[in-house]
Structure 1
Amino acid sequence: MAWTYLFFAGLFEIGWAIGLKYTEGFTKLTPTILTVVSMIISLTLLGLALKALPVGTAYAVWTGIGTVGTALLGIWLLGEPATAVRLSCIALIVAGIIGLKVAA
């Protein structure tokens, strides 16, 4: 169950990272509320996952999921560049996440 908590914590991390862009410096109410709620859910789920997983592994996987998801949504939603080098680096992060899961 801890890995499930961690996975969803990572998804909510993506939500708040992307949400920050839409808050426009916390000047837009609805995106700000959604971003803060995503932060709370993400941290709560991470805390639940940490009951059973090593902190170093859980934190690295949590941030890795957030990083990969945020980078991909940045490309898809925000028109950020999708260069071969950038996509290769994202793939390396995914490989690291898988490696940490296998090693845990």
Structure 2
Amino acid sequence: MNWIILIIGGLFETAFATCLGKAQETTGKESYFWWGGFVISLFLSMFLLYKAISVGTNPIPIGTAYAVWTGIGAVGAVLMGIFVFNEPATFWRMFFVMALIASVVGLKLVSS
């Protein structure tokens, strides 16, 4: 269950990065909407990280949890940058995103 909580927390990290990017692109009331989404996503992301490392009979070690959490957020932010913010999807960029995904999966596999 803690791994599911951690994955959801990582997705909220992607959400707060996306909201931050959209808040910079907008003005007025729309900007306030994105800033609100940023604050809510930031809180939920960090709260779920905390829950994943401290709840249940088998909490995830902080080093592993933090690496996986930031990895999910980083991969999600790059993908959102490509699909939402029209950032380039170069070979090397995608290569290193795949290496990051492999690292996150590897950490999950070697963690008890």
TM-score by length of 2: 0.89
User: In the alignment, does 2:106 pair up with 1:99?
Assistant: yes
Question: Structure 1 residue 23: deviation in Å?
Answer: 1.4
Question: Structure 1 residue 19: deviation in Å?
Answer: 0.7
CA RMSD between the two structures? 1.4
Q: Give the residue type in structure 1 aligned to 2:93.
A: R
User: In the alignment, does 2:17 pair up with 1:5?
Assistant: no
TM-score by length of 1: 0.96
Question: Structure 1 residue 73: deviation in Å?
Answer: 1.0
Gaps of 5+ in 1: none
Q: Cα–Cα, structure 1 residues 14 and 90, in superposed 2: closer, same or farther, change >3 Å?
A: same
The structure number with the bigger radius of gyration is 2
> Contact between 1:5 and 1:45, CA under 8 Å: does it hold in 2?
yes
Runs of 4+ in 1 over 2 A off after TM superposition: none
Percent identical across equivalent pairs? 40
Distance in 1 separating the partners of 2:19 and 2:39: 9
Partner of 1:77: 84
Gaps of 5+ in 2: none
